[in-house]
Structure 1
Amino acid sequence: MSDLEQTAATGGDATQHTAQALRTASQAILSHATMGTATHAQLVRSPANTRKQPRDLRELKALVRAHGILQNLVCYAERRDGVPTGLLAVAAGDGRWQVVGQLIAEGDLPEDYQLPYLLVGEDEAVLVSLAENLGRAPMHAADIFDAMRALAAQGRGVADIALAFGVGELTVRQRLKLANVAPRLFELYRRDRASYEQMAALAVSDDHAAQLAAWDSLSDWERQPQRLRRLLTQHCVAVGQDRVARYVGVKAYQQAGGLVTRDLFSTQEQGYIDDVALLDRLAHARLERLGARLHKEGWRWIEVRCRVDAAALAAYGRVRTEALTPNAEQAARLAQLQERAVQLREQLDASAEEGEEDGAALRELAAVEVEQRQLRAALQRPDRADLALAGALVTVDDKGKACVLRGLIPPQDRPQGAAGAAAEGKAKARVRGPHSARLTAALTGQRTLALRAELVRQPEVALRVLAHHLLRQVFYAARGGRVVQLDVKPPQLPPEAEDGAAWTCWQTQRAALAALLPEDGGSAGLMAWLAAQPRTIVDDCIAFCTACTIDGVQQDERTPPAVTELARTVGLDMRKWWQPTAQAYFAHVPKAHLLAVVAQATSPAHAVPLERMGKQAAAEAAARALADSGWLPPVLAEPETESVGTAATEEGDVDE
C-alpha cells in the first residue's frame, strides 16, 4: 500500500493528510512546469479534470467580468492517437475557462483574451488537478460580508458590489446589514456559534448595545430568531400586523415625519413603526372626522378610540330589545313554520338513519328557518330606556378599516341583569348542515389543538388571553361563553383529533417544556425553580398552561364568539394545520356535499367524474382535487368580521 493509500485508509484527518501529501507530490511536478498564456480557442476541456460535479458559475462569471482571470489554469499538450493536436487541455481551472468563453460570446471580453496557464505533463495532470481541488474550503459567509463592507468603505456603491460578486443588490444590502451587527456577536457567527437566522434577527436594529442586551438576556436555547427580533422591536409595531398601522398607512406616517425600521430579511419587507404615539395621533384625527358625521344620528355620546380590544368592549353594555306581541296573522304564520320545521327535521333524521341525504328537505328547512328569524326580528324593538343611554364607538377593526359600533352603553350606565346576557346563556338550536355532530367535534378538536399550538408560540398573546379571562371573572361576572377554563383541567378531545400537524406540534411543545422543568414538582421546589428563571421562561410556562385550558370542541356548527375572538387574536389560519383528506373529512359527509365542495373549490367540471364513483373512491378523488387548495369547511374557516354594536360597519362610515 502506498503512503497516499495508507493515509486515506486511516480515517479521522484522512482528507487533510491526503491533501498535504498531494500538494507535496505536486510541488515536485511544478518544479519543471512552465508558464504561458493562450486564447480561449486554443484550450479544450480535459477528461483528466477531477471536478466532475456541475456547479453554479454565476458568481465566478461576475468576478471574472469585474477583475479578469486572477489565477492560472493548469494544462497539458493534447494528443490524439499519440499525435499532438496543437491545443492545450485544461486539467484544472475548467470553470474559469468556461466563463471566459461565455463572456467572449456576450462581448464582455475580446476573442484574443489571454488566459494564463501552467504547462505540465499529461501523465501528471490528474495529480495536479486533484491537488488543486482537494481540501479547498469555501470562504466563510462572515468573511464575504466583511469583504463587502470593506468595498463599501472604499466608496464602492451597492450596484458595483453586486456586479463584482454576481448577486442581487438586495443581497448586498442584507450582507452589509449583517456585517454591521455588534462585533462580539458577529465574531460568534464567524466561529459558527451563532446562526445566519440569529444574525438576521439582530440586524433589525442598528443599536449595538440593544443587540448585546437582547443576546445576553437569553440563554443559549432561548435565542430563537423570532424571540431576538421581538426583544429588539418591542417598542415598535409591525406594519403588516398592527391594525392601526394598516389603517393609517406607511406613506401617511412617513409624510408626518415618522420613521420606519426596515427589516431587509423579512419576506414582506414591511418593517416596524418606531413612533407609535404619532401613528395613533394620525389614526385618531382621521377617526374624529368620521365621528363628526355621526352627530346627526342622535346618539347620546360618540367616542373615538383607535385601539380597543375585546376586554375593553366587554365593559360596555348593549341596547336590550323587548319582544312585541304578534298579531293574529303573525302568530299563525309562526305556528305554521314551527310545525313544518319539526316535520322536516324528522324527515331528515329518517334519511340519515338510512344513509341517504334528502337535499330537497335540507333546502326547505333552511328557507323555513330564514323566515322564522325574519319574523322574530320584526317582533323585537330596542328598549327605549337603553336607547337614551346608548352611543357609538368609532374605532379600527381587525382588518385595518374604520368601523362604527352603535348601540353601546357605557360601563357606568349599563343596566343590571341585562336581557342580552340572559338571552346569550340560553341554549341555541342546533344548526343543521352536511356535518354530523361527530365530524363537527373532530374538526373543532383540530381547531382547538391549532389554537393551543399558536398560543404557545405567542407568550405575549397568552398573557393577554389569561388577563382577559381573569378580568371577566373578577369585574364582569363572566358573562357569555368561556373558552379558558382557569382550573386547568385540560378538556377531553375527540380521538379523531389526535392526529395531524396540530397534534404533532402540541406534543413537541409539551416535550420541550417538560425537559426544562425540575424533577421536584412540589410546590416549594417548583416555586424555587421559577424564581431562578428569566422572564421569558416564565412566559413560556404561562403560555403553555394557558393553552392547555383552551376548549373549542363543539358539536354545533355555529362557532361560539369566544372561540372566534381567540382565533383572530392569535392569527389562526387553519390551512396551516388541517387538510381535507378522505379520512379526515370527505368520507364522513354526504356525497352530494362532497360534489358541491369540489365544484365550488375547483370547477364544476372536476366534480362530474366523481358522480359515477363509489363513496370511498369519490372521497379519495375529492381529496386529491383539493390538495393544497386552501379550502376549509365553514366551521374552520375564518369568520367574517362582525360589528359588535347594533349595526355593522356601513360603507358610508369608512373614512377613506
Structure 2
Amino acid sequence: MTTAVQKITLSSSRDIPFSKLVLGQSNVRRIKAGVSIQDLAASIARRGLIQSLHVRPVVDTDGQEMGMFEVPAGGRRYRALELLVKQKQLAKTAPVPCVVGSSSSAILAREVSLAENVERAPLHPLDQYRAFKDLLDQGMSEEEIAAAFFISVNVVKQRLKLTTVSPALLDVYAEDGMTIAQLEAFSVSRDHTRQEQVWEAIKNNWSKEPYQIRRMLTENTVRASDKRAVFVGLERYEAAGGEVLRDLFQSDDGGWLQDVPLLERLVKDKLQMMADEIANEGWKWIEVAVSFPYGAADGLRELEGAPVDLSSEEKATLHALRDELRSLQAEYEEADELPDEVDQRFGELESAIKTLEARPVRFDLAEIARAGVFVSIDTDGAILIERGYVRPQDEAPVTPEGDNDPGTDGSDVEATGLVQRAVITIGGPPAGPEEDDEDGIKPLPDRLITELTADRTLALRDKLANDPATAFLAVLHKFVRDAFSGYSAQGVAMEVFVRGTVFPVQSEGLRDTNYARSIKNRHEAWEKRLPTDVADLWDSLSALTGTEQTELFAHCASLGVNALYERADRYGNGAISTHGVQQRLADADHLARAVGLDMIAAGWRPTVGNYLGSVTKARILQAVREGAGERASQLIDHLKKGDMAKEAERLLADSGWLPEPLRLADVDIEAVGSNAGDEDETLPEFLAGGDAGDEDVKQLDAAE
C-alpha cells in the first residue's frame, strides 16, 4: 500500500506598514557581527529591501490577533528600517515585504530565528572575486565597489588580486582542492605557467604550506628591503621596466624585484656614475663593489684629512635648527605621544642637523694623487664612500736630503693644477659554493670552520674590549707563563705583543656584523683622541684617567685575540700543527667563558651565506632538527639543497642554534695538554681528521 506524501503549505507573503511591526524577543542574534546597522540602512536606501522579514501576528492572552506583528527573524533589517524612519528617509506607514507565519504554529519563533542565521551560506570568495571583476569591467572603480558593499578597498584589491592566479588553479580551488590561503599565496606571481609548475610539484606532498608556495614563486627574486634594491630605488627600477611582485594578503616587506639582472645592471650603473664623480677629485684608484670584505683596507695607510669648516650661512642655519629642536623638546617633554606633524618635524630637524655636522674632509692634493677610494653600498642601502687609503707600492719614495727634484713626492700635481684620472675597478659578487648533494654527515669543510671562527674571533675581541679586568688578567696570565720556567709559553690565547690577525677566508657580510662595526667605531674613537705625533704619546696616555687607561688597554689587548681554526700541515712542515690549533681553540674557550661570550647575543644567526649554503643536506637537516625540532626538519627534507638552505635559515632565525665551531666546547686545557700524543682522539668532532705536526714547531696562539 502506497503512503501518501503529505504536502506542505508555505507561509503567505504580504506588505505590512512598518508602524505595525515590533521587534520580537526571541531573536537568537545578540552579538554584533557583519555589516553594521548604519551600513545595512545605507544598503537598503541604495538597493531597497532585498530579503523579506519573517513575522508572526501578536496575540492576546485569549489567542486573538491584535493587529500587530512581531519580527523573530530579520532583527537587523528591522533596526535598519527603524533607523531610516528616524532619519526621515522612510515613512512610518511605508509597506514592508513580510512572510507571515502562523501564531499557532508548533515551530517556536526562536527556532525560526536560529534556522535563518545558521542555514545562511556565505558567498564563496571565488564568486565574490568574479562579481567584483564584473563590476570593475562595467566601469566601477575599486573605491566605488568598496563603498557600495561597505567593505575596505583592501578587501576589494585582495579579491581582484586573484585575477593573477592561473584559471586552472582557480578551478582546483573551486573544487576544494586547495585552501584560500594557498590560493592567495599564488597571487604573488603573474606567471601562470610557473604557478602551475609549483602546484604540480607540491600538490601530492602532505605539507603544502602557503609560505612554501610564496618561497618557490619568489626564489629567483630580490627582496625590496635588500640593500641593492634600496640603493637603486623602486621607482627607478620600475621606470626601467622592472616588475615588482607584491603580496596583498600578508606583509611582504615591500615586495620582490623579479628582474634580478636588471637590478644588478642598475646597481652597477649607479655605482659607476658615483665613481666617475669621485674620480674628478684626482684619486689614483677607486675600488667599486656592492660590499667589501672585512679587513679590505688592512695594510693600507689611511690619510689624515681636515674637516671643511662651516660657512657663516651654515653656522647660522645650524644654530637656528638646534634652537628650534631644543624649543620643541622643551614644549613636548611631558607629552606621552607626539602629534604626527611634530614627530615629523623632529625627524626633519635631526636629519638636517646631522647633515650639517657631518663635514666633508679635505685632503692634501699630493696625497690624493697616490691614494684611493672604496665605494660600496652600506647595509641601509646608502652609498658608502671611504676616501684616503694609500697602498704600500704607492707610497712616496724616500728622497735624500738636499735632493729637490720635483715630482718625486706628488707635489707636481698641486703645482700644475692637473687632476689625474683614477683607475676605477668594479668588482663582482663572490662566487657561491658549488651544489653539494651528498647526504652523509661529514666533517665540516676546513674553509667553513675558518670562516665561522673568524666570526667568533671578532666577537671575542669585542667582548674582551668591554671587560678590562679580564683583559688585564689575560695579559697577566701570559706574563706569568713567560716569567716562570715551570710553565709553557706556547698554546695561549694572548700575546703581550699585539699582532693583528688577517682572516684568509671569511663569510660574506662579516664586515657588517654588530661586533665588526663595534670594533671599528671604538678604534676610530680612540684614534681621534690619541696624538698624531708619537713623541706626544707618552704624555697623552699619562693624562688619561685610570678608567680610560684600562678601557684603552682592554681595546688594544682585544686586537690580539686569535680564535681561528686553521688547517694543520699533516706532515708537520709548517708552523701550524693540529695540537697547536687544538690548544689555541681550548684556550679561546676559557677566554670566551671568562667574558661571557654568547654568539647568539652577539648577533650571529645561521644564514645561507655564512653556514647553510656550505654544508650538505644532512647537515642542514641536523641543524633544523636540533634548533627547531623534528617536525620542522620533516617540512623541508624533500626540498633541493638551495631551497632547503633558504627555509632552514628562516626556521633557525630565532632558535638560538649554533654550529659546533661556535659552541663552547667542554675541553679541559690541562687534560688536553697531558694527552698531546693522542691528538686525534681528543680533538672536537669538527676538527677530527687532521694529523699532528711536530710538537717542537712553534705553535700558533689564540691571540696575537
- After TM superposition, the score normalised by the length of structure 2 is 0.47
Displacement of 1:242 after TM fit? 1.6
Aligned partner (choices 78, 84, 87) of residue 97 of structure 1:
78
1:261 is aligned to 245
Displacement of 1:401 after TM fit? 0.4
Are the structure 2 counterparts of residues 434 and 156 from structure 1 closer, same or farther at C-alpha, using a change threshold of 3 Å? farther
Alignment partner of 1:209: what SS?
helix
1:318 is aligned to 298
1:234 is aligned to 219
Q: Distance in 2 between matches of 1:513 and 1:468?
A: 18
Q: Distance in 2 between matches of 1:129 and 1:181?
A: 39
Task: Name whichever of 186-195 and 87-96 sits farther off.
Answer: 186-195
Question: What do the CA deviations read for 1:588-625 (whole angstroms, capped 9, x no partner)?
Answer: xxxxxxxxxxxxxxxxxxxxxxxxxxxxxxxxxxxxxx
Q: Distance in 2 between matches of 1:534 and 1:469?
A: 14
Are the structure 2 counterparts of residues 242 and 534 from structure 1 closer, same or farther at C-alpha, using a change threshold of 3 Å? closer
Q: Distance in 2 between matches of 1:111 and 1:551?
A: 82
Say whether the 8 Å CA contact 1:189–1:199 is kept in structure 2: yes
Question: What do the CA deviations read for 1:503-561 (whole angstroms, capped 9, x no partner)?
Answer: xx9767231255579xxxxxxxxxxxx8x864567547976899651765689xxxxxx
Alignment partner of 2:212: what SS?
helix
Say whether the 8 Å CA contact 1:316–1:411 is kept in structure 2: no
Are the structure 2 counterparts of residues 408 and 228 from structure 1 closer, same or farther at C-alpha, using a change threshold of 3 Å? farther
Matches within 5 A, 1:175-190: 175-178=159-162, 180-190=164-174
Say whether the 8 Å CA contact 2:56–2:101 is kept in structure 1: yes
Structure 2 letter corresponding to 1:444: D
Displacement of 1:137 after TM fit? 3.3
Q: Distance in 2 between matches of 1:224 and 1:160?
A: 34
Are the structure 2 counterparts of residues 157 and 111 from structure 1 closer, same or farther at C-alpha, using a change threshold of 3 Å? farther
Are the structure 2 counterparts of residues 317 and 451 from structure 1 closer, same or farther at C-alpha, using a change threshold of 3 Å? closer
Alignment partner of 1:96: what SS?
helix
Are the structure 2 counterparts of residues 50 and 64 from structure 1 closer, same or farther at C-alpha, using a change threshold of 3 Å? same
Q: Distance in 1 between matches of 2:148 and 2:635?
A: 48
Displacement of 1:169 after TM fit? 1.8
Displacement of 1:182 after TM fit? 1.9
Alignment partner of 1:265: what SS?
coil
Asked if residue 115 in structure 1 is aligned to residue 99 in structure 2, the reply is: no
2:196 is aligned to 212
Displacement of 1:197 after TM fit? 2.6
Say whether the 8 Å CA contact 2:228–2:377 is kept in structure 1: yes
Asked if residue 294 in structure 1 is aligned to residue 281 in structure 2, the reply is: no
Question: What do the CA deviations read for 1:157-191 (whole angstroms, capped 9, x no partner)?
Answer: 32343234321122111102125522332233334
Say whether the 8 Å CA contact 1:162–1:172 is kept in structure 2: yes
Are the structure 2 counterparts of residues 74 and 300 from structure 1 closer, same or farther at C-alpha, using a change threshold of 3 Å? same
Alignment partner of 1:444: what SS?
coil
Unaligned runs of 5+ in 1: 1-23, 323-385, 414-419, 456-460, 471-483, 492-504, 518-529, 556-656
Asked if residue 512 in structure 1 is aligned to residue 547 in structure 2, the reply is: no
Say whether the 8 Å CA contact 2:625–2:632 is kept in structure 1: no
2:210 is aligned to 225
Structure 1 letter corresponding to 2:76: G
2:659 is aligned to 549
Question: What do the CA deviations read for 1:275-322 (whole angstroms, capped 9, x no partner)?
Answer: 4444444444443443345346654311333x23xxx62594523569
2:375 is aligned to 394
Aligned partner (choices 100, 107, 123) of residue 139 of structure 1:
123
Q: Distance in 2 between matches of 1:411 and 1:516?
A: 53
Say whether the 8 Å CA contact 2:125–2:159 is kept in structure 1: no
2:227 is aligned to 243
Q: Distance in 1 between matches of 2:596 and 2:88?
A: 65
Alignment partner of 2:27: what SS?
coil
Matches within 5 A, 1:21-170: 28=8, 30-31=9-10, 33-58=11-36, 63-79=43-59, 86-105=67-86, 113-124=94-105, 126=109, 127-170=111-154
Are the structure 2 counterparts of residues 129 and 433 from structure 1 closer, same or farther at C-alpha, using a change threshold of 3 Å? farther
2:475 is aligned to none
1:171 is aligned to 155
Identity of aligned residues (%): 26
Are the structure 2 counterparts of residues 143 and 264 from structure 1 closer, same or farther at C-alpha, using a change threshold of 3 Å? same
Q: Distance in 1 between matches of 2:288 and 2:594?
A: 40
How many residues align structurally?
Answer: 405
Alignment partner of 1:47: what SS?
coil
Matches within 5 A, 1:386-425: 391-406=372-387
1:199 is aligned to 183
Are the structure 2 counterparts of residues 178 and 549 from structure 1 closer, same or farther at C-alpha, using a change threshold of 3 Å? same
Provide the aligned C-alpha RMSD in A: 5.0
Are the structure 2 counterparts of residues 137 and 251 from structure 1 closer, same or farther at C-alpha, using a change threshold of 3 Å? same
Q: Distance in 2 between matches of 1:66 and 1:266?
A: 33
Q: Distance in 2 between matches of 1:101 and 1:439?
A: 75
Are the structure 2 counterparts of residues 292 and 536 from structure 1 closer, same or farther at C-alpha, using a change threshold of 3 Å? closer
Q: Distance in 1 between matches of 2:89 and 2:253?
A: 35
Alignment partner of 2:162: what SS?
helix
Question: What do the CA deviations read for 1:565-608 (whole angstroms, capped 9, x no partner)?
Answer: xxxxxxxxxxxxxxxxxxxxxxxxxxxxxxxxxxxxxxxxxxxx
Q: Distance in 2 between matches of 1:515 and 1:162?
A: 42
Structure 2 letter corresponding to 1:68: G
Alignment partner of 1:198: what SS?
helix
Structure 2 letter corresponding to 1:394: V
Q: Distance in 1 between matches of 2:135 and 2:239?
A: 33
Q: Distance in 1 between matches of 2:266 and 2:378?
A: 16
Are the structure 2 counterparts of residues 213 and 446 from structure 1 closer, same or farther at C-alpha, using a change threshold of 3 Å? same
Q: Distance in 2 between matches of 1:91 and 1:392?
A: 81
Q: Distance in 2 between matches of 1:63 and 1:315?
A: 68
Unaligned runs of 5+ in 2: 303-366, 395-453, 472-590, 666-704
Task: Name whichever of 144-153 and 435-444 sits farther off.
Answer: 435-444
Say whether the 8 Å CA contact 1:61–1:166 is kept in structure 2: no
Matches within 5 A, 1:534-573: 534-535=640-641, 538-539=644-645, 548-549=658-659
Q: Distance in 2 between matches of 1:131 and 1:541?
A: 47
